[in-house]
Amino acid sequence: MSLTGRTFSVNMSAKGRPEVLVLAIETSCDETSAAVLRAPDGAKPGTRTGGTGPRAPAREPASSNEAPEILSNIVLSQDEVHAPYGGVVPELASRQHIKTITAIVGEALTRAGVGHDEIGLYAVTQGPGLIGSLLVGLSFAKGLAYYHKKPLIGIDHLEAHLEACFLEHPAIAFPVLGLLVSGGHTALYLMEEPLSYRLLGKTRDDAAGEALDKIAKFLGLGYPGGPVIEKLGEGGDPRSFPFAVPRTKDRSLDFSFSGLKTAALKLIRENGIIKDSPRLPGFLASFEEIVARTLVDHVRAAADQAQPRSLVLCGGVARNTRLRARFREFARQAGLDAYIPSPKLCTDNAAMVGAVALKRFARSPEMETDLDLDAFAR
């Protein structure tokens, strides 16, 4: 079923310009999130006139120098639900999204101080992610868009992570080399212009966050593993355990973290590392250091090949202090500008979904709203 042909309306600001507010929803994994963003001034799409008459032509495309305003960005983590299992349990994740989504969307509107009548556009993460979780957000967003007769845009989760950086730094110079490191993905992209992504390399096995989560789980440290490893490794000497940066045999920019994970498990057994052992901080700091160095090594190789003007680091693992520092160090040496979103915008959140939606909508306000939008896992 499609909304095409129905009447859409976009609210007009006092200056007579369309004022687009987007309500974005993100439920791809274990965070239920909703956000309201206002399109930047001067980056407004063509007005959709009421009725069935011809639509006004699109205005200038969104200026890359302006960022939308985040009016609210509510994130409810399910960490407590999944912690006892040491990882996300997909069935529990979708059930939890169902329980909380109405309240989270309501809270996003309340904090933004707006009602559905002021929302001009709905956006939702379509994938990749856990199908059951994605379907909760997708179905909810379809219901809202259909009922309120507003356009709905399906957004790629990885694109949203990359876009998070532009929310705080809208004028990043292209071409941009982006490293995305999350619990499910580790990949390098070249963005030659806004909203264009060329995959340069990705992980052949575990994602970086997944490797951190698995080692934390093995040691019984809790979930999610990244922040726990960071906290317990504080003060540990990152040179105390001998890890080597893994290399792929070909000259590809693909990552592989399974070898590092196996090396870590071997060191844990050989050295009798357990939750309370005095060598734990040194071990965790060493593991975190090798993960950060491996990631930055790939950025170095990709930068040599692609010659970007700027570097961007994003995804949940980008919250990591050591990785942020190594990334900035490399950028300084290479003479490149480096951008990393503030921590809240690194992990899953709906503001980054709304940001992509506003850019896409500004480019093609005539886009069809398809209620058949389907979730995709990968």
Binding site for Zn ion (CB under 5 A): 182, 348
Region at 355 (left for phi over 0; alpha for psi -120 to 50; beta for the rest): alpha
Cβ proximity to ligand KG4: between 43 and 216 the closer is 216
Our CB check for ligand KG4 shows the closer of 68 and 225 to be 225
CB of 371 to ligand KG4, least distance (A): 26
Q: Which residues contact 146 (CB under 8 A, 6 or more apart)?
A: 3, 371
Please, are residues 216 and 264 in contact by the beta-carbon 8 Å criterion? no
Select 144 or 317, whichever has its Cβ closest to ligand KG4: 317
The count of C-alpha atoms lying within 13 angstroms of the C-alpha of 117, restricted to the half-sphere facing its C-beta, is 0
The option from Zn ion, ligand KG4, none interacting with 225 (CB < 5 to 8 A, set by class) reads ligand KG4
User: Which does residue 213 touch among Zn ion, ligand KG4, none (CB within 5 to 8 A, set by kind)?
Assistant: ligand KG4
Q: Which two tokens stand for residue 196?
A: 């264009």
Closest contact distance (angstroms) between CB of 143 and Zn ion is 24
- Closest contact distance (angstroms) between CB of 73 and ligand KG4 is 14
Q: How far is CA 175 from CA 194, 360, 372, in A?
A: 9, 19, 34
Burial class (CB in 10 A: 0-12, 13-18, 19+), 371: middle
Q: Return the structure tokens found at 292.
A: 């950060």
Q: Which is nearer to ligand KG4, 39 or 228 (CB)?
A: 228
Residue 222 binds what, of ligand KG4, Zn ion, none (CB under 5 to 8 Å, by partner type)? none
- The binder of 156, among ligand KG4, Zn ion, none, by C-beta within 5 to 8 A per type, is none
Distance CA(257)–CA(263), nearest Å, equals 10
| Least Å from the CB of residue 223 to ligand KG4 | 8
**In the complex, minimum distance from the CB of residue 157 to Zn ion, in angstroms, rounded to a whole number:** 6
> Could you give the angle at which helices 208-218 and 225-232 cross, rounded to 10 degrees?
70
Cβ proximity to Zn ion: between 224 and 236 the closer is: 224
What is the identity of the amino acid at 86?
G
CB of 174 to ligand KG4, least distance (A): 23
Q: Rounded distance, CA 80 to CA 58, Å?
A: 46
Closer residue to Zn ion (CB): 166 or 241 = 166
Nearer to Zn ion, 72 or 133 (CB): 133
Structure tokens of 346? Answer: 């690194």
Q: Which is nearer to Zn ion, 67 or 130 (CB)?
A: 130
Residue 39 vs 179, nearer CB to Zn ion:
179
Question: How far out from the chain centre does Cα 167 lie?
Answer: 12
The CB density around residue 260, as the number of other CB atoms within 10 Å, is 23
Tell the smallest beta-carbon distance from residue 317 to ligand KG4 (Å). Answer: 4
347 contact, one of Zn ion, ligand KG4, none, CB 5-8 Å limit per kind? ligand KG4
Contacts of 376 (CB under 8 A, 6+ apart): 126, 127, 128, 134
CB atoms within 10 A of CB 324: 18
Among Zn ion, ligand KG4, none, the one that 294 touches (CB under a kind-dependent 5 to 8 A) is: none
**Least CB distance to Zn ion at residue 204 (A):** 19
What residues line the site for ligand KG4 (CB under 6 A)? 29, 182-184, 209, 212-213, 224-227, 230, 315-317, 319-320, 347-348
Q: Where are the alpha helices (DSSP H) in the chain?
A: 79-82, 90-112, 131-148, 157-168, 208-218, 225-232, 258-270, 280-306, 321-334, 343-346, 351-363
Q: Which two tokens stand for residue 161?
A: 């992570």
Which of the listed partners (Zn ion, ligand KG4, none) does 212 bind, with a CB threshold of 5 to 8 Å by partner kind? ligand KG4
